[in-house]
Structure 1
Amino acid sequence: MRFSRRNFLRGFGLTILASTSPALCQTQPVLKPARLKVGDTVGLINPATFSEPKEIEDLRKTLSQFGLNVKLGKHLFDRYGYLAGRDAERAADVNAMFGDTSVNAILAVQGGWGCNRILPLLDYKLIRGNSKILMGYSDITSLLLAVYSQSGIVTFHGPLGASTWNDFSLGWVRQILFGGEAVMLRNPIEGVSRLDRKKMQPPLRVETITAGKARGKLVGGNLSVLAAMVGSNYLPSWEGVILFVEDIGEEVYRVDRLLTQLKLAGILNNISGFIFGQCTDCDPENPLESLSLSQVFLDIIKPLGVPAWYGAAIGHIADKWTVPVGVEVEIDASVGTVQFLEPAVV
């Protein structure tokens, strides 16, 4: 069975102590990568869990629809237990792709677990000097946040190479990464389900926690991975940030615990807005003995007094947004939209 990030974190106990001080400040001014264009080359890496060759062949076909070429990381198919090679090898692929002038963008193929282990091995000065699009989600959250906080480059919480690349998801990639548009992110039209590889995705509905609008830099990712980074040197400043999170396979009490950890660490008290995407397969085993997610949000997020909502098209789902980390946006929690105030690429 494929290794699962959430199973690792569950086994680990998620008992990492929260820092008693806010996250470190941004160490570099924000730098936007160049937009994609036809003929560009995308470097494929596995900084966490390994891939099967069949996944790469499918991805080649998808990227060719954009007119993009592919370059494989040297250690893309390496294996070390549940990891795609040893830490030094996976980190070397990240550094090499940033340093390779023939590569215009970098795409992680798989999530899983492992990015946290390579963060101290990355050459952030090299990365800063060779800014380019870096995209993925799930465990790739830690790589996106570390590159953003340490090198100052806008990164992208979006499809993995192994994701479902449907029309909805491809549309945001085109507009944001190719077109450089200052878009307004909206969920798919309610009532329209789109075909996933395994099942139909239900309609995504917005649930307002606190109505209102807010502006700030959009920063976030997978909730479990973010919580596991608390206390490290690889998180940005949270002052005035619009925080977005999502997760998969975490029962409600664990979501409660993770959000509480962010609160105790001082993160939630600094943000100007909050977005919870999708919590896929997070239903409690005993509903009658559990709080609902809505109740957890009312207990922890509502008292913050900042615009907040649940149900955005972010997470382990087929229809997903491409979400830039580090771009100024305005959110409207009453209707569940994210308006870019600037392009994410140049």
Structure 2
Amino acid sequence: MSSLINRRQFLKTVALSAIATELPQIAIANPFLKTAVKPPRLKVGDTVGLINPASPIEPKDIAQVQKTLASLGLKVKLGKHLLDRYGYLAGSDRDRASDVNAMFADASVKAIVAVRGGWGCNRILPLLNYPLIQASPKIIIGYSDITSLLLAIYAKSGVVTFHGPVGTSTWNPFTVDYVKRILFNGEAVTMQNPPNAGIKVEIITPGKARGKLAGGNLSVLAAMVGSSYLPDWKQSILFVEEIGEEAYRIDRMLTQLKLAGILNQISGFIFGQCTDCQPKDNQPSLTLSQVLREHIQPLGIPAWYGSPIGHVKDKFTLPVGVQVEIDANKNTIRMLESSIK
């Protein structure tokens, strides 16, 4: 009996691997699945695949990530093109996409971690094998430029993805606690700002709201508008974060989301943090607070600024595609279901 089971597993692995090699892939929409596909939970001893789908890394970065994941009891498998370079990209589009597809096809890999962000993920979206990803759902986690992978995979396959630390992030106790509770334990947690962390919080509109959680880096999200790689925003809780963008740029990107009809569909809004977003050279400027209030307050939905999301040391792990309830008065995000199975 065991030999029959092993043979079936072998055939499944071969079939998935064959699918993964069919590049380029046509972006087959499985549009806006009503039921999210939840990936299996992580366990101590599991193997995690490392990918680098955006900007280049150094060999020392890999050693750092291996050490971090080993501290969580995880083994590491390196993507074939992890150290490739092609100008400002971590290898050719085809090769970077191939690493993503190969990790989903590999039965020994239980989760996928992006080493870093940068730029390049939008370029590989048409080359990802979404039917394969749907057939072999796995945890995939990252932030910044990885936003496009997280949103596209969820939109095209229905698989829940995770906006959280990349491999080279600061995996401090706060960050690791959410990773363990959500990805290992399968808890439906309530996310709260760390005490005494000095996070500036501003309530834009008070109240509570429920909806599917989705979002990521604002500039990456804005660059995807008009494509088929974004999810259905109806009754969603939109979270965004940013780094190094002045208020007028935030204004421009939020205006783009507004003109695209995205802001009018959401039921709640969170701007995590805007790191290093002050006006340069004392030029006249609206404040970030003014920009957020002008765009978000007229929507009449619960909203606030100030959560540990994105380019900060303390990070939530946010499941994209899972139902949550937010409380703008308390600045909390309460998961209404587990994000894994």
TM-score > 0.5, shorter chain as reference:
yes
Amino acid at match of 2:289: S
Q: Find out whether 1:283 has 2:256 as its counterpart.
A: no
Q: Aligned partners of 1:28 and 1:270: how far apart in 2?
A: 16
* Residue correspondences, number: 313
**Displacement, 1:205?**
2.9
Pick aligned residue for 2:311 from 309, 316, 324: 316
Give the structure 1 partner of residue 232 of structure 2: 237
Q: Which runs of 4+ in 1 moved over 4 A?
A: none
Pick aligned residue for 1:171 from 170, 174, 177: 177
Decide whether aligned partners of structure 1 residues 67 and 29 sit closer, same or farther in structure 2, where only a CA change above 3 A counts: same
**Secondary structure of 1:270 counterpart:** coil
Give the structure 1 partner of residue 11 of structure 2: none
**Secondary structure of 1:247 counterpart:** strand
Paired residues of 1:45 and 1:108 also in contact (CA < 8 A): yes
Q: Which stretches in structure 1 are left out of the alignment for 5+ residues?
A: 1-23, 193-202
Pick aligned residue for 1:265 from 260, 267, 270: 260
What TM-score do the two structures reach when normalised by structure 2? 0.90
**Secondary structure of 2:109 counterpart:** coil
Q: Which stretches in structure 2 are left out of the alignment for 5+ residues?
A: 1-29
**Displacement, 1:110?**
1.0
**Secondary structure of 1:134 counterpart:** strand
Q: Find out whether 1:138 has 2:144 as its counterpart.
A: yes
Give the structure 1 partner of residue 18 of structure 2: none
Aligned counterparts, 1:1-346, within 5 A: 25-27=31-33, 29-190=35-196, 192=197, 203-287=198-282, 289-346=284-341
Paired residues of 1:28 and 1:149 also in contact (CA < 8 A): no
**Secondary structure of 1:244 counterpart:** strand
Paired residues of 2:49 and 2:77 also in contact (CA < 8 A): yes
Paired residues of 1:108 and 1:136 also in contact (CA < 8 A): yes
**Secondary structure of 1:176 counterpart:** helix
**Secondary structure of 1:339 counterpart:** strand
Decide whether aligned partners of structure 1 residues 221 and 161 sit closer, same or farther in structure 2, where only a CA change above 3 A counts: same
Amino acid at match of 1:272: S
Q: Aligned partners of 1:294 and 1:334: how far apart in 2?
A: 17
**Displacement, 1:29?**
3.4
Paired residues of 1:28 and 1:151 also in contact (CA < 8 A): no
Paired residues of 1:183 and 1:340 also in contact (CA < 8 A): yes
**Secondary structure of 2:40 counterpart:** coil
Aligned-residue sequence identity (percent) comes to 66
What TM-score do the two structures reach when normalised by structure 1? 0.89
Deviations 1:28-72 (A, max 9, x none): 731000110001000000011111111111111111111100000
Q: Aligned partners of 1:207 and 1:324: how far apart in 2?
A: 23
Q: Aligned partners of 1:63 and 1:229: how far apart in 2?
A: 31
CA RMSD in angstroms, aligned pairs only: 1.3
Deviations 1:186-233 (A, max 9, x none): 11102x4xxxxxxxxxx1132100000000000000000000000001
